[in-house]
Chain A
Amino acid sequence: GAGVSQSPSNKVTEKGKDVELRCDPISGHTALYWYRQSLGQGLEFLIYFQGNSAPDKSGLPSDRFSAERTGGSVSTLTIQRTQQEDSAVYLCASSLKLAGDETQYFGPGTRLLVL
């Protein structure tokens, strides 16, 4: 079956512009996660959505970052007023929410370059 998909695969933007990154989770997965992978920081958790519960935003690095998940499926990560330090690969993952089986499956990522 289809895995997690993300778009765009690559995004180049100018400092100060806003960007939107999209994630389509695996069908039927109720949990969705965003992570950031950068050279200096490794893999960092950003935000977690589970069903209709309030999202866990504890990993968002600043108020320039926000995310939403519409209809319990597709999610959009928005970065406002991008900075060069936002350059990274943004990874989305999804999982079922079953006790004992919460394996997260990752998409291919969006590579963001802020000039």
Chain B
Amino acid sequence: AQSVAQPEDQVNVAEGNPLTVKCTYSVSGNPYLFWYVQYPNRGLQFLLKYITGDNLVKGSYGFEAEFNKSQTSFHLKKPSALVSDSALYFCAVRDMEAAGNKLTFGGGTRVLVKP
């Protein structure tokens, strides 16, 4: 079985400050990990992924995430948040060794960046 936890329903941060959105996962095998962002009344937009290789992954719009196998975490980070980063963020996992290809999503974290 595969699961994802996003422990914070909402994160508030001032513009220009660092932003962190937390994600922990559970899989039987090795994980594929993804971050998506959703703006109001829009679909999910891909930000970045970890498949293999470097633990620090860089993605769109200045976002990055660090894969930590020992802590089973994949936290999303941005050094300097913008008001336009305000949105709903989803972490997702797929077990590489599992049959099928479905993603399991966390419950989402709403980010509010205040000017």
Contacts and interface: CB of A to CB of B under 8 A. Distances in A.
Contact of B108 (A42, A95, A106, A107): A42
Given A100-B51, A101-B51, A108 B43 contact: yes
Contacts of A77: none
Contacts of A111: 41
In the complex, which range does the number of interface residues on chain B fall in? 20 to 34
Interface string A82-115: 0000000001010101001111111111010000
A65 interface: no
A108 B43 CA distance: 4
Interface residues of A, number: 28
A56 to B, nearest CB: 5
B45 A45 contact: no
B76 to A, nearest CB: 16
Contact of A106 (B36, B49, B52, B107): B36
Interface of B: 32, 34, 36, 41-46, 49, 51-52, 90, 94, 100-108
Contacts, number: 56
A101 to B, nearest CB: 7
A31 B90 CA distance: 21
A89 B46 CA distance: 18
Given A100-B51, A107-B43, A108-B42, A42 B102 contact: no
A58 interface: yes
Contacts of A105: 46
B77 to A, nearest CB: 20
B105 A48 contact: no
Contacts of B46: 103-106
Interface in A49-67: 50, 56, 58-59
10 contacts: A6-B43, A42-B108, A43-B90, A45-B104, A48-B102, A97-B101, A103-B49, A104-B34, A105-B46, A106-B44
A51 B49 CA distance: 24
